Every structure is written in C-alpha cells, then in structure tokens.
Amino acid sequence: MGKDRLLVDNVKGNLTQDEIDARKSAEKRMYDLEPIDITPPEHLDDIAQTEYKRIVPLLRELPIAALDYSMVCAYCQFYSNWLQASEQMKSESLTITTAHGVRSNPLIIIQRDAHRSMQSIASKLGMTIDSRLKIMTPKQSEQKSDPFKSFFE
C-alpha cells in the first residue's frame, strides 16, 4: 500500500501549477460526494449504533462521505466489542486456568484486537489528532508571510 496522500497545502515536494490545480480540484470534489447517512444501520448492535450517532455528526465536519460507510460501521462495531469486553473484564480475572495451565483471559484478546482495529480505522477517517493535523495544518512555509510572494503572483 502506498503512502497516505496529503492535501496540497501539506505537500513538501515541488509541484507544478498544473499538479497543484489538479490536487485542489480533487480536494474540493471530496466535499461534493454524497454525505454519510446520519442514521445508524440496523445491523449494528445497540452500543455500536450509539457510537455511530455520536461520531457521524463530528465526522461530517471532515471530508467523510457515504463511501466511508463500511469503515465507520466497522469502527463502531469494534468500539462495541472493545467496550463489552472491557465491561466484562471488570468482574473477571486477567488470567484463566485451563487444562493446559494458566492463560490470558480471552477477553484481553478481544479488547486488544478491537482496539487495534479501531486505531487503524480512526487514523484513516481523520479521527486521530495526527490524521486531523495532516488534513488541516498548512505547511510551515505557507504559514509564514513571504514579503516577495506578491511579486510572483
């Protein structure tokens, strides 16, 4: 898989004006895509539906579209799995005794796997600080005022 694509204002390399125009046009079109539905799907469990209702209004501030529906649903279901395992772990031990000896409680594996999946999806959807900064922060060179910039425009 290739590197994540950055917004044109965050690209560090040199781009031609045509490349800049093409990227800006593509970025604008991201906001023209069909928005993600605010209503959670029925196939999610109750906890996942509540999480969907919580995050989708926030995600709509980013260029999230209906195309991202399955990733948002997966995130919400992994959140539910993580939360349920965490709640159940409150009343159980971290280890269990089996015929093969002492083992980690399987709920720990559910928690860990759900958390890893949530982290992966969250960064792809702009739900982490780092991923939002990539989307929203212009390059340092663009933040500083260039007194000679007006001569070249």
> Is 78 domain-assigned?
yes
> Is 50 domain-assigned?
yes
What does the longest C-alpha to C-alpha distance in the chain come to? 79
Q: First-to-last CA distance in the chain?
A: 37
The pLDDT of residue 66 is: 87
Average pLDDT of every residue of the chain: 80
Question: Regarding predicted confidence, which is higher, 148 or 21?
Answer: 21
Residue percentage of the chain with pLDDT more than 70: 67
With 50 as the cut, is the pLDDT of residue 122 above it? yes
CA gap 62, 125 in Å, rounded: 8
With 70 as the cut, is the pLDDT of residue 18 above it? no
Tokens of 10: 């965050």
> Is 131 domain-assigned?
yes
With 50 as the cut, is the pLDDT of residue 25 above it? yes
> Is 17 domain-assigned?
no
Residue 6 C-beta-side C-alpha neighbours within 13 Å: 15
CA nearest to 60, candidates 26, 27, 101, 31: 31
> Is 145 domain-assigned?
no
> Is 99 domain-assigned?
yes
Give how many domains the chain has, as a whole number: 1
CA gap 90, 30 in Å, rounded: 43
The pLDDT of residue 128 is: 87
Residue 78 belongs to domain spanning = 23-107+126-140
> Is 67 domain-assigned?
yes
> Is 9 domain-assigned?
no
Q: pLDDT (tens digit, 9 = 90+) per residue, 78-88? A: 999 999 999 99
